[in-house]
A and B are shown apart, each in its own frame.
Chain A
Amino acid sequence: MPRNQDIKKVLVIGSGPIIIGQAAEFDYAGTQACRSLKEEGIEVVLLNSNPATIMTDKDIADRVYIEPLTVEVVEELIKKEQPDSVLPTLGGQAGLNLAMELEEAGFLKEHNVRLIGTTAETIKKAEDRLEFKATMEKIGEPVAASLVVENVPDGVAFAEKIGYPVVLRPAYTLGGSGGGIADNREELVEILENGLRLSRVGQVLVERCISGWKEIEYEVMRDGNGNCITVCNMENIDPVGVHTGDSIVVAPSQTLGDKEYQMLRTSALNIISELNITGGCNVQYALHPDTFEYCVIEVNPRVSRSSALASKATGYPIAKVAAKIALGYTLDEIKNAITGKTYASFEPMLDYCVVKIPRLPFDKFISAKRTLTTQMKATGEVMSICNNFEGALMKAIRSLEQHVDSLMSYDFSDLSDEELLERLHEMDDRRIWMIAEALRRGVSYDVLYSITKIDRWFIDKLAILVEMEKALKEGPLTTELLKEAKRIEFPDNVIAALTGKTETEIHDMRKENGIVAAYKMVDTCAAEFAASTPYYYSVFGSENEVEETRDRKKVLVLGSGPIRIGQGIEFDFCSVHCTWAFEKEGYETIIINNNPETVSTDFDIADKLYFEPLTPEDVESIVDIEKPDGAVVQFGGQTAIKLTEALMKMGVPILGTSAENVDAAEDRELFDEILSKCRIPRPSGGTVFTAEEAKKVAAELGYPVLVRPSYVLGGQGMQIAINDHDIDEFIGIINRITQEHPILVDKYLVGKEIEVDAVCDGEDILIPGIMEHIERAGIHSGDSISVYPAQSISAVTKRKIEEYTKRLAKALHVIGMINIQFIVCGEDVYVIEVNPRSSRTVPYISKVTGIPIVPLAAKVIIGHKIRELGYTPGLQKEADYIAIKMPVFSFEKIRDADISLGPEMKSTGECLGIAKTFNEALYKAFLGAGIRLPKYKNMIMTVRDADKEEAVEIGRRFEALGYRIFATEGTAAALKENGVKAIAVNKIEQESPNLMDLILGHEIDLVIDTPPQGADHAKDGFLIRRSAIETGVNVLTAMDTARALVTSLENTDIKELTLIDIAKVE
């Protein structure tokens, strides 16, 4: 079927801010789809509230709206832009839900807009629990049997019908408390009685227990003609019970015979056909490890995280093909972009093994429980490719950038055997390291399998790695042994540590014996057809396939690795735009990255893609083959910056700001020198290694002081200390990981926080705009609400900021990007941080000012001057818009994580509010972040003493809006004294009724809770904040945020939101 010519203008809905469970993969899918649509001459209108995405770029869509993802906004947008179709299956669950709401309300029909891709009926069949169950029963596909019961006899009867064990899930309890797994009648009765009592509605779901089964996924495509294919299957190493997003996943499946493989494949095709899906779909299965029995766990009738992974694992561009199918094409009409010869109607065959490991945020949330459950906690993931499983696993481990490079990286040697096995019962992110330790102690595969339900095949592979550790330790290091160690991807530094040699010695021994990495191509077809797509992975002991290219100048772009708190999708935006800019300038571009969710790892972004870990050794192997003319490190976040020194040693010129100058910005003493030379003030401070030194510095400065390690990301480990005791605690935490660089102790200044990004060509600078944070200094810039243009600083201060930026950029010899954070106290301007690289705010400020900063910086790096590029240097004229960047958090996903904001970054994503007025922009920003008030007009305030005065002002304003304020004793007294009505309630540790009862009563809109500073009290109110978050109540932990929110609420008469096409902002 050729394409449907009636489709001319399509609205694509994105997935909004990055949250846990909905991350960069939708930017990848959406970007690919938009490009695929534009290729067909379709006019693309894009809606996404997330300014850090590539899809919201005017290069990607014709009309770009960075507006809140609400029904009202989509309705307005459809009225304004009048698209003929909506493509809803590329924006994750958020996009899908919106489209469904509009469809069900009849709005789409009324405005002659059709849903393309999968129909509403199909989406309902797949998403609605009951309809899904009925559909599966109709075609004979098994689902785990379940029943909601309200009494014990019904539960027993049902359990006995479906067989033990059963899972019990009480309805509406906090964090699933009161549930459990029952193996027999006795246990069932006990748990069920308790669960029924705890459930607010007296209901418990009894479900066939499939935890411990193998979890297998199939990615399936189907076109309008009914042709179906499976792109890939994947096996979770972790059994059912750990969310697939938190599981280590391997593709293709490893422990399934052809019978199991084809059984599930046929089932997946039956399901996609019955659901009548046109496009991509993901089907998840639980497969009994000892029989052919299986259950369908879930069907996602859209592109998903797994489809991004499958696309990267196979080279099959699922989103691109899905977009073409939505236009009416059939699979056999769509060319396979990798081979250029064959068609999309085939199934990729892998001749390698892919391993994905999730990136979990426990380094950020130290208090959080590390246990992995059915609730996803990972913020991102890494993928690696090798022709053996061990190698793929080892490469994935070192791609994580979590101080891990082998199975020895977490030390469990101090645990007794019993303790170790006990810990293994609780699956956490360190499970494979624990299994490795158990293997070292000779625990049998059977015991490990019975505890973890991780297939013995994978356990054996871990054992092979452990055996290699032993062989290397025992020596001697023969050429053969080294070859074998490299075949399974032991990095040189690990081999060095095990053999007692230096890394250089290992490196040299490899070179002498020709043990070097070779690169193989991902070609979708196991070499059956010649492929032209240069998408490579490394292996040892094989023939190299990389074709030498020497015709153009060659630039190496280093990506930013896995998405984590502090280093998100914005760096992928920068890497991709940098690559495109260099390409336009006639360079051959090479990207190295390991994140399967991103646009940068799409095979058609750079001229060559190396899907590899970003460690010096892995990069060097590529450099040896490619011999690039230079490398760009400023766009890949801290990951790329950290490779600067190594690249220099390899003899690769760093394009843009030189390595010494990067170092000068990070090295405290050098930096202080530069600041004083430039006559720029900074908060006074010192560098220390120990708590004793820190206390001495703090005593000189006077408390409060800011404590942080140097060379970190997103303020990791940064804390405000108010006394010596805090210092002991914070330094202790920082020094858990050996610090190569000193710890910084600075005077903590309370003032306005200001941020600028600038481009410097060595002579001139260009500042697109000045951003001001709503929260006072002390809260990480990534967690602050950021306003452009700055609203409350004087023209004099602005000039000072411009001048300081210029002086600093020049003093640091910046060529390219620089990011500076200032504190403004009155008219005094202090510098608190300088990053000689692209920053988190670059995509945001580029979009709202219309200045393409990354391409501009790339051109400057190549040698162009700002003036010759058509720009007047200096601070640019302010735009006609106010643009507010609002952080978005995923606290509800991480149990036991403290949600109070501070110097350490905690947000996972961001959204934008852009409007002609400050109030409307602020309102849109809150709306985009999902804060939709009021529902009940009840709120709770409990603030520290220092905030009581402000609490009165804010409380009064909420009261004026009709809010009922509940407050803890002290706060209530302060409010009442000043004439604000407040109802005093007991603290959580006091008797009921107390704050907890209020929160669990589901009638509270908002909690304002500001914890006291310092280590001793920071945990006060922890339970309140957690309970509120887990029951879906908004919690604010800074007075400034609260003030902004009340301001926004005071302006909710903004009924008609004005929608702004970013593509037209100049």
Chain B
Amino acid sequence: MKAFLILEDGTVFEGTSIGSKREMISEIVFNTSMTGYLEVLTDPSYAGQAVVMTYPLIGNYGITPDMESKKAWPDGYIVRELSRMPSNFRCEGTIQDFLEKQDIPGIAGVDTRALTKILREKGTMNGMITTNEAFDLEEILPKLKAYEVGDVVSKVTCSEKYVLPGKGYKVALMDYGAKNNIAKSLNQRGCEVTVYPAHTKASEILASNPDGIMLSNGPGDPKTCEDIIAEVKKLYESDVPIFAICLGHQLMALANGGETHKLKYGHRGGNHPVKDLRTNRVYISSQNHGYVVDDQTLDKSVAVPAFVNVNDGTNEGLQYTGKNIFTVQFHPEACPGPQDSGYLFDRFIEMMGGAK
């Protein structure tokens, strides 16, 4: 069946429908990872967005047990080609079936490189995937312009707290849309991880006397999370060591008077170089963010840059002055992507008092 991808600027790509046949409107973003399509699909940070994979051959190894959350989150999925026959010893099914079961509308056969170039030049924009061949651009375009990602954190966070038992430090993990491997990375280091819904009050977290608090990644514009920011501020004021990733990093900056802004087309992929300003070492990181912290807006007495993106010089991490708080924009939990910055979880363990 034919499908169409219609962009806010009026560009139309024709392709073949994959997954769900329903129509969807979303923000269109691209990801440059060559492997890890399943991790991308199940990363809650993609809630409210439709993802374009720049790598043209998707689904080669099928669906494996590597989901980063319980379900797929993107509103839509845009690819060049889906493999008709996956092959891998852990393969449990095809991506075609997965998209259908997960009710994700998608389109294949798109010149994803041409599409990526448009998004790169004009910036991230909204779009629609439809199977309606008789679509009316004039009617659709205003709808596309009107789309807003909105409050997606509430959509993706867990409904109730749960515990991953461990014998080491007690870590409270704020689930703003956490990827599984964050909890796993801590758990593997012995931590007992309690995962809290995003809107849990700081008082409840602090009352549980955690050794450390982990603020997770998550979707959407950080500035829309006003209630959460207020709670993060309270966490900041406690003396509990805090480590934050991605959205968590942005929320901590906003809680302390910093500013965030939207990047033209974001960083999404597994090849972004970040420099650890303490050591001048460069690490290749996994990234997925559309917003970034303006580190200039934070006074040195509050926080100083700890990591910087080698490509565009944007902030990739902050060390909070006089605090046991450390936050990064990229994803040390990887999945998908390079595991180079996994050492940051060890640093967090150190922040809580070292090996236990």
Measured CB to CB, the nearest residue on chain B to A386 is B56
Q: Pick from A338-346, A357-365, A834-842 the stretch touching chain B.
A: A338-346
Task: Knowing A257-B61, A343-B273 are in contact, say whether A528-B116 is a contact too (CB < 8 A).
Answer: yes
CB distance from B91 to the nearest CB of A (A): 9
CB distance from B80 to the nearest CB of A (A): 6
Chain B residues proximal to chain A, CB less than 8 Å: 30, 32-36, 38-39, 54-57, 60-61, 64, 66, 80-81, 83-90, 111-114, 116-117, 120-121, 269-273, 275, 280-284, 310-311, 334-340
Measured CB to CB, the nearest residue on chain A to B34 is A252
Query: What are 17 A-B residue pairs whose CB atoms fall within 8 Å in the complex?
Result: A227-B282, A255-B88, A256-B35, A257-B35, A257-B64, A258-B337, A261-B34, A261-B35, A262-B35, A330-B282, A332-B310, A342-B311, A347-B284, A351-B116, A388-B81, A520-B113, A528-B32
CB distance from B54 to the nearest CB of A (A): 4
Chain B residues positioned under 8 Å from A530 (CB to CB): 120-121
CB distance from A326 to the nearest CB of B (A): 18
CB distance from A454 to the nearest CB of B (A): 11
Task: Knowing A261-B35, A520-B113, A530-B120 are in contact, say whether A348-B271 is a contact too (CB < 8 A).
Answer: yes
Task: Knowing A332-B282, A343-B310, A542-B111 are in contact, say whether A258-B335 is a contact too (CB < 8 A).
Answer: yes
Alpha-carbon gap, A818 to B84, bound state (A)? 53
Task: Knowing A226-B281, A255-B87, A258-B36 are in contact, say whether A388-B56 is a contact too (CB < 8 A).
Answer: yes
A257→B32 contact, CB < 8 A = no
Chain A residues proximal to chain B, CB less than 8 Å: 225-227, 229-230, 252-259, 261-262, 265-266, 269, 289-291, 330-332, 341-343, 345-353, 387-389, 455-457, 460, 464, 520, 525-530, 541-543, 545
B284→A527 contact, CB < 8 A = no
A227→B281 contact, CB < 8 A = yes
A258→B336 contact, CB < 8 A = yes
B120→A389 contact, CB < 8 A = no
CB distance from B228 to the nearest CB of A (A): 30
CB distance from A266 to the nearest CB of B (A): 5
Alpha-carbon gap, A330 to B273, bound state (A)? 13
B120→A257 contact, CB < 8 A = no
Chain B residues positioned under 8 Å from A351 (CB to CB): 32, 54-56, 112-113, 116
CB distance from B25 to the nearest CB of A (A): 24
CB distance from A74 to the nearest CB of B (A): 36
Chain A residues positioned under 8 Å from B66 (CB to CB): 257-259
Measured CB to CB, the nearest residue on chain B to A353 is B57
Chain A residues positioned under 8 Å from B280 (CB to CB): 225, 330
Can you name 8 extra interface pairs (CB under 8 A) apart from A226-B281, A229-B273, A258-B38? Answer: A261-B35, A262-B35, A262-B339, A269-B340, A342-B311, A351-B56, A526-B32, A527-B113
Alpha-carbon gap, A525 to B113, bound state (A)? 11
Chain A residues positioned under 8 Å from B57 (CB to CB): 254, 353, 388-389
Alpha-carbon gap, A67 to B269, bound state (A)? 49
A387→B80 contact, CB < 8 A = yes
B89→A349 contact, CB < 8 A = no
A457→B87 contact, CB < 8 A = yes
A347→B117 contact, CB < 8 A = no
Closest 9 CB pairs of A and B: A258-B36, A457-B87, A347-B271, A526-B54, A258-B336, A258-B35, A527-B116, A460-B85, A543-B114
Chain B residues positioned under 8 Å from A388 (CB to CB): 56-57, 80-81
B269→A349 contact, CB < 8 A = yes
Measured CB to CB, the nearest residue on chain A to B62 is A257
Q: Which residue among A253, A348, A456, A457 has the maximum number of chain B CB atoms within 10 Å of its CB?
A: A457
Alpha-carbon gap, A331 to B117, bound state (A)? 27
Alpha-carbon gap, A331 to B282, bound state (A)? 8
Chain A residues positioned under 8 Å from B310 (CB to CB): 332, 342-343, 345-346
Task: Knowing A349-B55, A528-B269 are in contact, say whether A255-B34 is a contact too (CB < 8 A).
Answer: no
Task: Knowing A332-B282, A346-B311, A389-B57 are in contact, say whether A455-B87 is a contact too (CB < 8 A).
Answer: yes
Alpha-carbon gap, A227 to B282, bound state (A)? 6
Which among A291, A464, A529 is the interface contact of B120 at CB below 8 angstroms?
Answer: A529
Chain B residues positioned under 8 Å from A331 (CB to CB): 273, 282
B120→A456 contact, CB < 8 A = no
CB distance from A511 to the nearest CB of B (A): 20
Alpha-carbon gap, A349 to B81, bound state (A)? 17
Task: Knowing A460-B85, A525-B32 are in contact, say whether A345-B64 is a contact too (CB < 8 A).
Answer: no
Alpha-carbon gap, A387 to B281, bound state (A)? 34
Alpha-carbon gap, A807 to B60, bound state (A)? 63
Alpha-carbon gap, A594 to B84, bound state (A)? 29
Chain B residues positioned under 8 Å from A389 (CB to CB): 57
Which among B32, B39, B112 is the interface contact of A349 at CB below 8 angstroms?
Answer: B32
Chain A residues positioned under 8 Å from B88 (CB to CB): 255-257
Alpha-carbon gap, A347 to B337, bound state (A)? 11
Task: Knowing A254-B60, A256-B35, A460-B87 are in contact, say whether A527-B339 is a contact too (CB < 8 A).
Answer: no
A387→B56 contact, CB < 8 A = yes
B113→A289 contact, CB < 8 A = no
A346→B273 contact, CB < 8 A = yes
Alpha-carbon gap, A103 to B336, bound state (A)? 43
B89→A291 contact, CB < 8 A = yes
Alpha-carbon gap, A254 to B55, bound state (A)? 11
Task: Knowing A258-B336, A343-B311 are in contact, say whether A289-B116 is a contact too (CB < 8 A).
Answer: no
Alpha-carbon gap, A265 to B179, bound state (A)? 21
Which among A229, A258, A525 is the interface contact of B284 at CB below 8 angstroms?
Answer: A229
Measured CB to CB, the nearest residue on chain A to B89 is A290
Chain A residues positioned under 8 Å from B114 (CB to CB): 542-543
Chain A residues positioned under 8 Å from B338 (CB to CB): 262, 265-266, 347
CB distance from B342 to the nearest CB of A (A): 9
Chain A residues positioned under 8 Å from B269 (CB to CB): 349, 526, 528
A346→B271 contact, CB < 8 A = yes
Alpha-carbon gap, A256 to B57, bound state (A)? 12
Alpha-carbon gap, A455 to B83, bound state (A)? 14
Alpha-carbon gap, A255 to B61, bound state (A)? 6
Alpha-carbon gap, A252 to B60, bound state (A)? 12
Q: Which residue among B57, B66, B111 has the maximum number of chain A CB atoms within 10 Å of its CB?
A: B57
B85→A456 contact, CB < 8 A = yes
CB distance from B112 to the nearest CB of A (A): 7
B60→A266 contact, CB < 8 A = no
Q: Which residue among A258, A343, A348 has the maximum number of chain B CB atoms within 10 Å of its CB?
A: A258
Alpha-carbon gap, A346 to B335, bound state (A)? 18
